Chain A
Amino acid sequence: MPSPALPKQIPANVFATGHVTTLSRAVLKRDRSVPVPASIGHALRTAGLSRGLPRGSVCAVTGVAPVGFAAVLLAEANRSGSWVAWCSGVAPNIRALHDAGWSPDRLVCIDPQREWLACMGACVGQFELVVTQVPAGVPAADVRRMTTMAAHGNGVVVLLVPHGAASMPVDFEFRVERCEWPVSNTGHLSAQVLHVVLGGRRVAEPRAFEVAIGAS
């Protein structure tokens, strides 16, 4: 197709002239996934996936210590520049996140009150990482709408599922089966070792792995 004749002066809105077109955002292949710590990355790799969480995926963290595992899962991505929206009635202890390697200046905590779906609508697609706990009483249809939004977005949504609560089908499910608690010689709990099973729709066969919080 012949290109239109070049104007002598560059107009203010150069994109409207037809000479210049906006391109969709170039994303490198390695950027199509959100980085995770090596131990989790290895588990994803052995499950036939890339060494990170694919963007547009929904993860659920279930079991005995969902917040602790989420803190480890997202630390690498947050440290490397991703913003995190923590959309839950209970905010995490920021000191614990800081100790896990987070940059708290890229963390926003939202107490959604009765506006959970609206808050998630504002977060998904804008924040690279969204952590949420679905409040009691939210209809399943609203949760499905949210996961559909997440699938079309450019980030990762992490659902925190309290122990004993029913989970929903998601791309990745990290189930924290049990914890171990090494004790330091000063008599403090020096670490928390989480025994996790990776499952979900995009994982053909469940994989078990361990993650440690704090010094080993």
Chain B
Amino acid sequence: MNESRVAVVVLSCGDDRALHGLAQALDDVTPMIEMIDENALLLPMRGPTRYFGGEDKVARRIVDAAAVIGIDDVSVGVGSSRLAARLAADRGGVCIVPDARHRSFLAAQPVTVLQSRAHVDADVVSLLFRLGLGTLGAVAGVDRTTLADRFGPDGEAVHVLATGGELHPVCAEAAPTQCFVESHHDEPLVDTARVAHAAGELATRMVCELSPRGLVACRVIATFTTEHDETCSRVWYHPHGFTESMLGERLRWQVEKWLDDGLTAGVAHASIDVQTTQPHRTTQLGLWGEHGEADRAAWAAVARLVSLVGDAVRVPEWHGGRDPMKQFALVPAGRVDLRDVDAARQRVTPGEVHPRDWTGDIAGIVPTVPVEPCREVDVVDAAGHRVVVTGRHLFSSQPAFIVDGVRRHGIVSCFGPWPVEERWWDTARRRRVARMQCLVDIDNRRTAWLLVSEYRSWWLVGVHG
């Protein structure tokens, strides 16, 4: 039997509480379950297959274990590599790719799965596609050295994945440790926030120990033990390695869910055992150093903040589109690598077609404060009649007041309406709106609002506050 057979279990509901429960339930099936994604976990299959008498029986047992704790929408994929198993799981239900069909299964997959399922850089995937390598089979057909010459380490990794290999082998048992950090707490920690903070500090210490060696941890075992020897141990994996904030966020999740179960004592010991490492390309400093003291201090602070408030720590990401309030979105800081300066810059760089010359864009200044969620208001004329935008994109009458709940604000002047038609090619997501800027008198001070008319209703979306 192929030693690298693995099963990937994907939850469709995306409920992290359910994922924690499932991981606990599957601890009886096999140890060393890897948490690989927000809604997915991985099981090494070698031991369980022998014990339960076949892969289909293990898969059935996983589905049954999920059903026992009330999870019905679970899919299981079994394959000879992480990528193959993940792609099999994406098909829904139980999908087992036999070892003999492993390569042909992968060869038929589009090259875009490397980005969505294997965290390969989007630029590399895009370039592969434009070079005519549209499937993993086509990529596997190219000589490995050629890819390595053209794309560097990314090309080598792409070739390994496309040919059915693993960047980091799956381990069914604990490997020799590469780095071990731990903390003892004489006064056991009971409060979730304090445990999460201690976990975040451990993650920072781990990164500080590995960094001078030019390494980053890809696979770690995080263990927390209470005074009464209750233990929670999880294996975390990321193909590009963990930064302190990424690992801190995961450990925070682990302890939160564990402490929610109700423990009899406080946490007295925490440890991180680094199992797999790889060279960290992005922290390799140049002659004069690309990262300053301010950068390092900020990264450390972000890691600490993530351990305090988790996903409430967010960084901007360019999303594009015609809505000036949504062109940048905020994404959790724990899920991006802040140390990768190039990736960070790319993350916030507007696309080549910056929507400045579109007729629907706000040509001048945009509101500084978004109203979230946007608030429905009424726009009325001097006679108290509702103002709407006609089919000819004109006001039905001159707007005079905005009624915001029980308050009525006088409109000093208004500009627009400017029609915008978004995603006209997509019947499900198409949107026709009209925008209006207006100067409003509120308690004898003048301010500017941005309103949007959609389905004959007005919504306040932004304020120049």
Contact = CB atoms under 8 A, between A and B. Distances in A.
A205 interface: no
Contact of A105 (B301, B348, B365, B465): B348
Interface in A105-150: 105-113, 115, 118-119, 122-123, 125-128
Nearest to B329: A94
B308 interface: yes
A82 interface: yes
A66 interface: yes
Contacts of B315: 104-105, 107-109
Interface centre among A71, A111, A113, A189 (most CB of B within 10 A): A189
Given A181-B448, A188-B363, A192-B448, A65 B309 contact: no
B369 A67 contact: yes
B83 interface: no
A213 B415 contact: no
Interface size range of chain A in the complex: 35 or more
Interface string B419-459: 00000000000000000010100010111100000000000
A99 B446 CA distance: 22
B365 A110 contact: no
B384 interface: no
A26 B179 CA distance: 34
Interface stretch (A3-11, A42-50, A83-91): A83-91
Contacts of A98: 328, 348, 350
A214 B462 contact: no
A186 interface: yes
A167 interface: no
B411 to A, nearest CB: 13
Interface of B is mostly: mixed
Contacts of B364: 184, 188-191, 214-215
Interface string A72-97: 00000000011101000011111111
A186 B363 contact: yes
Contact of A126 (B300, B309, B327, B362): B300
Nearest to B342: A105
Given A110-B313, A126-B301, A163-B445, A96 B367 contact: yes
Given A66-B465, A90-B369, A127 B301 contact: yes
A38 interface: no
Contacts of B445: 64, 163, 178
Nearest to A130: B301
Interface stretch (B68-76, B291-299, B397-405): B291-299
Contact of B365 (A25, A92, A214): A214
Given A104-B348, A105-B348, A109-B315, A93 B301 contact: no
Given A65-B368, A105-B344, A127-B298, A93 B305 contact: no
B328 A94 contact: yes
Contacts of A104: 315-316, 328, 348
Contact of A65 (B324, B333, B447): B447
B372 to A, nearest CB: 8
B325 A93 contact: yes
Given A82-B294, A92-B368, A192-B464, A115 B309 contact: yes
Given A105-B347, A108-B305, 6 more contacts: A66-B465, A67-B465, A95-B327, A109-B316, A122-B305, A179-B447
12 contacts: A67-B465, A92-B369, A93-B368, A96-B365, A96-B367, A98-B348, A118-B193, A118-B308, A123-B301, A126-B298, A188-B362, A188-B415
Closest 4 CB pairs of A and B: A94-B328, A126-B301, A214-B365, A83-B298
